[in-house]
Amino acid sequence: MGADQRAELKPPLSFALQGLCAQTGARAGVLVTPHGAVSTPAFLPVATQGAVKALTPQEVADTGARIVLGNAYHLYLRPGTEAIRRAGGLHAFMGWPGPILTDSGGFQVFSLAHLRRVEDAGVRFRSHLDGSEHFLTPERAVQIQEELGADIIMALDECPPHDASPPQLEQAVERTSRWAERCRKAQTRPNQALFGILQGGNDPGLRQRSAAVLLALDFPGYALGGLSLGEPKEVMWATVSQAAVLLPSDRPRYLMGVGSPEDIVEGVARGVDLFDSALPTRVARNGGIYTRQGRHSILNFRFQEEHGPLEPGCRCYTCATFSAAYVRHLFKSRELLAYRLATIHNLRFMAGLVGEVRQAILMGAFPAFREAFLRGYRPADATVRAEQKQRWLAARGRGPLR
């Protein structure tokens, strides 16, 4: 599809800013898609296999989530995009009426270090399910996502590790730029918004080079990729601060794979609108409960006699119905209900957090909100967090699970 043809396809997505913090660059807006509007900042729960683990679509919506992320890699391998297309597309297949964003599958493929080979034409990889060989090109990545039918789809990019050498980073930027152009040309559906992905590691010059190419392709939205892969937080935030201002102010900005509560607040402070991560649901299934004071393990003995909710004032179904002691009992007894109740609470916490952030921006009070939240919230220990991240990434290399 050439430039003239693209111009005739009115973008199926609109984005309007409603508030801006002059002091920090934090933004509040509305993202309108074919399946509904999303107030931003927004957090996207991850529905890897076409489902947010442990919850029904209605339960996800009841937490306040308005948009979810589906994983093109997993859905392509099982049950297959053709099967989903015949079912009426991913929305109908999974019973989710709201907006869906699908990633290109690139990150999952690149995490299969011992099962893939990167070429300029695309990536050859073996399925972690059955060892079958596949060839993912930019054109095929777009086709897969068009068959899935998501509202927002992602261009195929090369995601280098955080400790990649300068030549590796430069190669990834060049390849990502060429692939972005091929994705743009390959798009055929007028009712999907294709986002480009900035790469460049933590090199400001490479990030700027990547942005220049992507902006010339005039994507309706842009993502910051290649971050939160094990680099120190201060390095990540310096990169986000530098890269975000390279992007158009009238397009949504998406920070991929970032989703701890403190990171949401810090990302918004740097002008980011959209976030996704499996972290809130993954830690929930392991007994990790989000509160305004930080993340706590419900397995701790002190919750055995806690007959109040997981967090006072929380309006989620779990806190309105059950005590912390009961949820702890379910985890200790390995009852499946435990995973559901903890997941409901954590997703409600995330939706509530971005809602409060948005309101603070609109009221001109974001700097004070940011300071108060970060002062009261105790993040996970940095060393423990880094070790957990590396174990998670290593596990993804053996078979990418989200």
Contact 379, 94 (CB under 8 A): no
Residue 370: closest CA among 15, 24, 136 = 24
Say how many residues make up the chain.
402
Whether residue 103 lies in the annotated active site: yes
For residue 73 the two structure tokens come to 């890699």
Percent of the chain clearing pLDDT 90 (strictly above): 87
Whether residue 186 is predicted with pLDDT greater than 90 in this model: the reply is: yes
**231 or 11: which carries more pLDDT confidence?**
231
Q: Does the pLDDT at position 2 exceed 80?
A: no
State the pLDDT confidence band at 108, using cuts at 50, 70 and 90: confident
Domain-wise residue ranges, the chain: 3-278, 284-383
Sole residue written with tokens 């798009």: 187
Give the whole-angstrom CA distance, residue 123 versus residue 138: 9
Catalytic residue from among 157, 203, 263, 276: 276
5 pLDDT band, cuts 50/70/90, is very low
Mean pLDDT score across all residues of the chain: 93
Catalytic residue among 62, 103, 120, 203: 103
Least confident of 34-48, 64-78, 109-123, 224-238: 109-123
Where is pLDDT greater, at 310 or 9? 310
Quick one: which H or E segment has residue 295? strand 294-297
Task: Report in angstroms the alpha-carbon separations of 303 from 27, 298, 328, 329.
Answer: 38, 6, 7, 9
- Coil, strand or helix: which one is 177? helix
* Contact residues for 282 (Cβ-Cβ < 8 A; gap 6+): none
Q: Are 203 and 169 in contact (CB under 8 A)?
A: yes
Whether the predicted pLDDT of 45 surpasses 80: yes
Pick from 3, 313, 21, 325: nearest CA to 185: 3
R_g of the chain computed on alpha carbons = 20
Residue among 195, 201, 194, 196 nearest 172 (CA): 201
Q: What is the mean pLDDT of residues 73-101?
A: 97
Helix, strand, coil distribution of the chain in percent, nearest 5: 45, 15, 35
Tens digit of each residue's pLDDT (9 = 90 or more) over 386-400: 565 555 555 544 444
Position 4 confidence tier, pLDDT thresholds 50, 70, 90: very low
Q: Give the model's pLDDT for residue 398.
A: 41
User: Does domain 3-278 correspond to CATH entry 3.20.20.105?
Assistant: yes
Q: Are the beta carbons of 90 and 99 closer than 8 angstroms?
A: no
What's the pLDDT score for residue 401?
A: 35
pLDDT for 394 equals 57
Residue 195 near residue 219 (C-beta atoms within 8 A)? yes
Condensed to tens digits (0 to 9), the pLDDT of residues 321-364 reads 999 999 999 999 999 999 999 999 999 999 999 999 999 999 99
Active-site annotation holds for 276: yes
Cβ(198)–Cβ(211) below 8 Å: yes
Q: Between β-strands 253-255 and 274-276, what pairing exists: parallel, antiparallel or unpaired?
A: parallel
pLDDT digit string (tens) for 250-271? 999 999 999 999 999 999 999 9
Q: How far is 106 from 123, CA to CA, in rounded Å? A: 9
Angstrom CA distances, 301 to 283, 284, 286, 297, 305, stand at 18, 17, 15, 9, 8
Distance CA 309, CA 154 (A): 39
Six-digit token string for 55:
């919850």
Q: In this structure, are strands 193-198 and 152-154 parallel, antiparallel, or unpaired?
A: parallel
Q: Is the pLDDT of residue 382 over 90?
A: no
Q: Identify which of 1-10, 116-125, 145-154 has the greatest average pLDDT.
A: 145-154
pLDDT reported for residue 111: 79
Q: What percent of the chain has pLDDT over 70?
A: 92
Q: What's residue 258's pLDDT? A: 97
Rounded to whole angstroms, how far apart are CA atoms 270 and 256?
14
Q: Give one DSSP letter per residue of 300-326, joined into a string.
A: SGGGTT--S-SSTT--SHHHHH--HHH
Q: Which residues sit opposite 38 in a β-bridge?
A: 31
